[in-house]
Amino acid sequence: MLELKQLTRVYDRDDIAPFMAVDNVDLSIMHGDFVSIIGRSGSGKSTMLNMIVGLLHPTSGKILINGTDLWSMNDKDMAKIRNLKIGYIPQGFSLLSNLTIMDNVRLPFCLAQREGNGIERAMNLLEEMRMQNLAEKYPAQLSGGEMRRVAIARALINNPEILIADEPTGDLDEETTKEVMKLFARVYCKGITILMVTHEYDITSYGNRVCTMSSGKLIENIAAR
Amino acid sequence: MVVPRGCASSLQNTLLRSESNTFYMNENLTEGLSAIPGVEQVSPQLYIGSLNASCCTVPVQLIGFEPKTDFTIKSWMTNIDSSKLGFGEIVAGSQVNPAFGGKVWFFGQPFKVVATLDDTGMGFDSSVFMTLETAQHMIAISEQTAVHPAGTGKDRLSALFVKLANDSDATKVAKTIMSAYPQTDVVILKEMMQHISTQLNNIKGLIYGIQGLLWIVSVLILAVVFTVTTNERKREFGLFLALGATRKKLESLLMTETLIISISGALIGVIAACFIMFEFRMLIAISLGLPYMQPTIGSTIILSAMSLLISVFTGVIACLYSVIHIGRLETHIMIREYE
Amino acid sequence: MKNKPTTGIVAITLGILVALTPIAIFPVCTDMIELMNGKTLFMKCHWTAMAELLVGILIVFDGMLIMGFKKHETRTALSIMLFLFGLTALVIPTVVIGMCETATMACRVGTEPALIVVSVITMVVGIGNTFFQSSSIKSEQLVKKEV
């Protein structure tokens, strides 16, 4: 469902030679895959993710979502893909601090301009994660793990085809990491494709495919399948 | 208007600034003036200031006029027949207490208020009108009873109002009067009004100038504020884009926020301004030192609507740069915040 | 939601304004009037000034209490009091005691309008904070219920 063909991103630096953050990456993700991309900081994983989600323009190459080239679309169609087909969980703190948890979760629903107000759907998701009592609270009142789970709920509100997570356990302790990954596993069991970027090798065991990114190049670890 | 020499400014202050003045002519020039070519009618008036001012007694201007020959004061008394004003009866200006039907005491004598004038914005508001006979009787009483009498002697007059024939040249007639009677000063109404008009235009020009400057400063300050706050919220906007908002949606979000803020602020400002302007109307009138009347409700509403529109427009203009700037920042917003 | 000291500071400022307006900012006449029988009396505006001084001091105290107490219920009650003090400051120069008769006297030209403006602002602040504190109570109760 997601295919990367010769995806490249080059940064021009004035006095130094241009920097190749992503170097001719090929990757094919099928429905039902749980792909983990592992690499050190600066290996180009977040850059690649930003291009896939449609936030950063590739220098060359293609990103095909269900056969359609993402970057050949206009702004409106790309926004629709980001809203309905992709559930994106950004790195770090990504909730809006002036909205309640309920409003944060249903934000993508409201952006889609669909019928209804999404409250019931958001409540169902929060109940699934046993966080319904936090609905009227604000992000500042939540722990790191709770905020990450809210971000996952927000990514799921529009029933996306693929969940894309950038360092979902990056700043969490061991126990909270396990909690979050169990949640990912539950989501995966429901048939949602997952693409996760991380620098922690331990959590890659939750998925069915592992790729390594180094100096902009992607290599799949066949033995981990 | 013919007054004793040196009293021209006193007359103007009485008519326009609600000042209370007393001045008299030494002789009755009514017949002499009527004989001058170009003069259609002459009507005498008598001005008496009621009290010397201690801090809290407010002097009232007493104006005696001759109803049979008068052509100025009766135009302010549209609903009553000034020729029927009797001895001991007075018509009070809008700011003189008490109102219609009551009694006012001057120099120890009661006078009946038979009518009250509406607001004129001029000196008439703190004046009291009576027949010449009543006014001259008042002077006589003041000689006997008041610590500071209003004057001495009978048949006193303060000013002679001269109505000119249609084809007369006011300046020419004025010169004729002054050369025939060098003990007088002549005030031409047109010139007096022109002087006020010039003063008002100067004030208006100053106010518009200040308004224009303030508007420019407001736009600049608001533009800076919007730019700073929009920069602070780059992360938030990046998130909106990442979650599926189009650039247009983001721009309309910003614009809607700006409109809500501008309209709320403008409404609060307009309501507060109207309230304060209404409450402090007296202070404004006195500080201006010019004829002043409270704006009507209709003109206030129109002014408020215009202020509202301009304020909202100012907010939108100030926000425009930020909206365009954010619209162009698309990809870099998220990236810089997260990497 | 955190309690901010803004309302308290605003109330204290308004209280100072109410107290000082008839005495220093737009002072009323201090002279006394002499009656026909030789007796001297203070005018109405003097007594209005004294009453407003007292009300102003009470508003200042109210503002200090609003700053000092943290509970929303207490602050709601104090805000209602602020509104009532504002109302008192409004009716004293207009209805209860009043000012001098003539419209061009100092107390009518400056003092009365200034007191009206400040007391209306006080009432608005009082009512505004009452609603704000009440909504804070409501959302606190909502959170407690869910837990």
pLDDT digits (tens, 9 = 90+) for B58-92: 667 888 888 888 888 887 777 777 777 888 888 88
Can you tell me the distance from the alpha carbon of B34 to that of B37, in angstroms, rounded to the nearest whole number?
A: 8
Whether B110 and B26 map to the same domain: the answer is: yes
Return the number of other C-beta atoms located less than 10 Å from residue B212's C-beta. 10
Structure tokens at B229: 């706050």
Q: Do A55 and B242 touch (CB under 8 A)?
A: yes
Residue identified by tokens 């307009």 is: B270
Question: What is the residue-wise DSSP string for B108-131?
Answer: TEEEEEEEEPPP-SSGGGGEEEEE
What stretch of H or E contains B23?
none
Taking CA–CA distances from C28, the nearest residue in chain B reads: B56
| Distance from C-alpha of B134 to C-alpha of A22, rounded to nearest angstrom | 105
- In which domain, by residue range, is B166 found? 2-187
Range with lowest mean pLDDT among A154-163, B98-107, B124-133, C67-76: B98-107
Tell whether B151 and B241 lie within a shared domain.
no
A98: closest chain C residue by CA:
C1
Q: In three state form, how does the secondary structure of chain A look? A: CEEEEEEEEEECCCCCCCEEEEEEEEEEECCCCEEEEECCCCCCHHHHHHHHHCCCCCCEEEEEECCEEHHHCCHHHHHHHHHHHEEEECCCCCCCCCCCHHHHHHHHHHHCCCCCCCHHHHHHHHHHCCCHHHCCCCHHHCCHHHHHHHHHHHHHCCCCCEEEEECCCCCCCHHHHHHHHHHHHHHHHCCCEEEEEECCCHHHHHCCEEEEEECCEEEEEHHHC
- The pLDDT of residue C16 is above 50: yes
Q: Of A92, A111, A154, which is closest to B245 when you measure between CB atoms? A: A111
Determine contact, residues A25/A48, Cβ cutoff 8 Å.
yes
d(CA B276, CA B271): 9
Whether B177 and B221 map to the same domain: the answer is: no
How far is Cα C44 from Cα B298, in angstroms, rounded to an integer?
Answer: 35
Whether B338 sits inside 8 A of A84 (CB atoms) is no
- pLDDT tier at C1 (50, 70, 90 boundaries)? very low
> Sign of torsion, CA B229 B231 B235 B241?
positive
Dump pLDDT digits (tens) for A70-83. 888 888 888 888 88
Query: The pTM is what?
Result: 0.76
Provide the mean pLDDT of chain A.
86
Closest CA to B8 of B151, B158, B153, B207: B158
User: Which pLDDT band holds residue C11 (cuts at 50, 70, 90)?
Assistant: very high
Domain count, chain B: 2
B35 plus B174 within the same structural domain: yes
Query: How close does chain A come to C1, measured CA to CA in Å?
Result: 9
Choice between B272 and B289, residue whose per-residue pLDDT is larger: B272
Q: State the distance between the two ends of chain A, measured CA to CA, in whole angstroms.
A: 18
Which pair of structure tokens corresponds to residue C107? 């107390």
Sheet holding A193-198, edge to edge: A86-89, A162-166, A193-198, A34-38, A209-214, A217-221
Tell me which chains share at least 3 CB pairs under 8 Å with chain B.
A, C
8 A C-beta contact, residue B71 and residue B163: yes
Residues B135 and B155 in one domain: yes
pLDDT of residue B54: 46
Residue B293: its pLDDT value, please? Answer: 78
Q: Is B44 helix (H, G, I), strand (E, B) or coil?
A: strand
The number of C-beta contacts closer than 8 angstroms across A and C is 10
Tell me the mean pLDDT in the region B92-113.
Answer: 74
pLDDT at res. B291: 73
Give the model's pLDDT for residue A223. Answer: 58
Query: SS3 for B156?
Result: coil
Q: Which chain C residues are Cβ-neighbours of A135 within 8 angstroms?
A: 146
Q: Do A108 and B244 touch (CB under 8 A)?
A: yes
Q: Which residue has the higher pLDDT, B88 or B289?
A: B88
Give yes or no: residues B65 and B84 share one domain.
yes
Chain A residue with the nearest C-alpha to that of C143 = A136
How far, in Å, are B76, B255, B308 from residue B271 at the CA level? 34, 24, 10
* A137·C139 Cβ contact <8 A: no
- What was the ipTM of the complex prediction? 0.86
What domains sit in chain A, N to C, each tagged with a CATH number?
A: 2-224 (3.40.50.300)
Residues B223 and B267 in one domain: yes
Helix or strand holding residue B63 (H, E): strand B61-65
Categorize the per-residue pLDDT at C147 as very low, low, confident or very high, splitting at 50, 70 and 90.
very low
pLDDT band at A224 (very low <50, low <70, confident <90, very high): low
Assign B336 a pLDDT band (cuts: 50, 70, 90): low
Of residues C63 and A54, more confidence is placed in C63
Contact B280 C104 (CB under 8 A): no
Cα–Cα dist B121/B282, whole Å? 10
Q: How confident is the model at residue B208 (pLDDT cuts 50, 70, 90)?
A: very high
Residue B181 CA: distances (Å) to CA of A130, B27, B185, C70, C93: 105, 11, 9, 83, 54
Partners of chain A (3+ Cβ pairs below 8 A): B, C
Q: What is the pLDDT of residues B124-182, one digit of tens each?
A: 787 888 888 888 887 777 777 666 566 665 667 888 889 888 888 888 888 888 888 88
Using alpha carbons, select from A202, A213, A208 the residue that is nearest to residue A224: A208
Residue A219 has pLDDT above 70, yes or no: yes
d(CA B120, CA C19): 35
List chain C residues with CB under 8 Å of B95. Answer: 102-104
Q: Enter the DSSP assignment of B187.
A: -
Residue B278: partners with Cβ closer than 8 Å, 6 or more residues away? B294
Residues C24-52 have pLDDT tens digits of: 999 998 877 777 777 888 888 899 999 99
Q: Which residue of B has its CA nearest to A82?
A: B244
Is the pLDDT reported for residue A180 higher than 60?
yes
CB of A100 closer than 8 Å to CB of A131: no
Chain A residues whose CB is inside 8 A of the B247 CB are: 75
Question: Do residues B142 and B62 touch, judged by C-beta distance below 8 A?
Answer: no
Which chain B residues touch A154 with a CB distance below 8 Å?
243
The rounded mean pLDDT for chain B is: 82
Per DSSP, the three-state class of B54 is coil
pLDDT of residue C124: 96
Cross-chain Cβ contact C113/B54 below 8 Å: no
Nearest-CA distance C147 → chain A (Å): 6
pLDDT digits (tens, 9 = 90+) for B248-261: 888 888 899 999 99
Vertex C130 angle, CA C124 and C132, to 5°: 100
**B90 and B163 inside one domain:** yes
| Residue C142 touches partner A, C-beta closer than 8 Å | yes
SS3 content of chain C, % helix, strand, coil (to 5): 75, 5, 20
As a whole number of angstroms, the distance between CA B63 and CA B49 comes to 9
d(CA A58, CA A51): 6
By the 8 A CB rule, do B15 and B123 touch? yes
Q: Does B279 touch chain C (CB under 8 A)?
A: yes
3-state SS, one letter per residue, for C97-135: CCCCCCCCCHHHHHHHHHHHHHHHHHHHHHHHHHHHHHH
Give the torsion through C-alpha atoms of C1, C6, C8, C14, to 10 deg: -150
Residues B291 and B315 reside in one and the same domain: yes
Tally C-beta pairs within 8 A across A and B. 61
C120 pLDDT band, cuts 50/70/90, is very high
- Predicted confidence band at B193 (pLDDT cuts at 50, 70, 90)? confident
Same domain, B230 and B90: no
Looking at the structure, tell me whether residues B79 and B208 fall in a common domain.
Answer: no
Query: Rounded to an integer, what distance in angstroms lies between the CA atom of residue B272 and that of residue A119?
Result: 40
Last-in-domain residue among B170, B187, B204: B187
Mean pLDDT for B41-59 is 70
pLDDT of residue B57: 58
Q: A185's torsion region: left (phi>0), alpha (psi -120 to 50) or beta?
A: alpha
CA distance A200 to A93: 18
Q: Does B257 touch chain C (CB under 8 A)?
A: no
Whether residues B107 and B12 share a domain: the answer is yes
Measured between alpha carbons, how far is residue A175 from residues A165, C58, C61, C82 in Å? 19, 56, 52, 51
Cα(A204)–Cα(A191) distance, rounded to whole angstroms? 18
With CA atoms as reference, report the closest residue to B136 among B41, B47, B43: B47
- Ramachandran angles phi, psi of A34, nearest 5°: -125, 95
Question: Where a domain ends, among B187, B219, B248?
Answer: B187
Task: Give dist(CA A61, CA A216) in Å, integer.
Answer: 14
Q: What is the mean pLDDT of residues A137-141?
A: 88
Beta strands across the sheet bearing A2-11: A19-29, A2-11, A60-65, A68-69
Q: Is A116 exposed, middle or buried (0-12, 13-18, 19+ CB in 10 A)?
A: exposed
What average pLDDT does range A155-177 have in this prediction? 88
